Amino acid sequence: MRSGTPPSAEKIFAEIDMSVGDRKLHLKLSVDPGPMRLVELLPLAQNLANTMVQAAVEDVVEKGEAISCKKGCGACCRQLVPISQVEARRIRDLVEEMPEPRRSQIRARFAEARRRLEEAGILEKLLDREHWAPDGIETIGLEYFRQGIPCPFLEDESCSIHPDRPITCREYLVTSPAENCARPTRESVNTARIPLKVWTAVARFDKLPPGERFIRWVPLILAPEWADANPDETPPRPGPELLKELFEHLTGKDIPAPPLGLA
Binding footprint of ligand SF4 on the chain (CB under 6 A) = 77, 81, 151, 153-154, 159, 161, 165-166, 169
Report the residue number, 81 or 88, with the smaller CB distance to ligand SF4: 81
- CA atoms of 138 and 82, how far apart (whole Å): 12
- CA atoms of 184 and 69, how far apart (whole Å): 14
Min separation Cβ 197 and ligand SF4, Å: 16
- CA atoms of 94 and 159, how far apart (whole Å): 14
Contact, 144 vs 150, CB < 8 A? no
Report the residue number, 12 or 76, with the smaller CB distance to ligand SF4: 76
Report the residue number, 166 or 184, with the smaller CB distance to ligand SF4: 166
Report the residue number, 77 or 215, with the smaller CB distance to ligand SF4: 77
Cα R_g (the chain), whole angstroms: 19
CA angle 25, 246, 29 (to 5 degrees): 50
Min separation Cβ 158 and ligand SF4, Å: 8
Min separation Cβ 188 and ligand SF4, Å: 20
- CA atoms of 140 and 192, how far apart (whole Å): 22
Report the residue number, 226 or 247, with the smaller CB distance to ligand SF4: 226
Min separation Cβ 230 and ligand SF4, Å: 20
Min separation Cβ 182 and ligand SF4, Å: 15
126-132 long-range Cβ contacts below 8 angstroms, 24+ apart: 126/80, 126/219, 126/221, 126/222, 127/222, 129/217
Rounded-to-5 percentages of helix, strand, coil across the chain: 45, 15, 40
Q: 245 in the Ramachandran plot: left (φ > 0), alpha (ψ -120 to 50) or beta? A: alpha
Report the residue number, 224 or 238, with the smaller CB distance to ligand SF4: 224
Residue 232: Cβ within 10 Å count: 12
Min separation Cβ 78 and ligand SF4, Å: 8
- CA atoms of 94 and 81, how far apart (whole Å): 17
Report the residue number, 161 or 243, with the smaller CB distance to ligand SF4: 161
Min separation Cβ 254 and ligand SF4, Å: 33
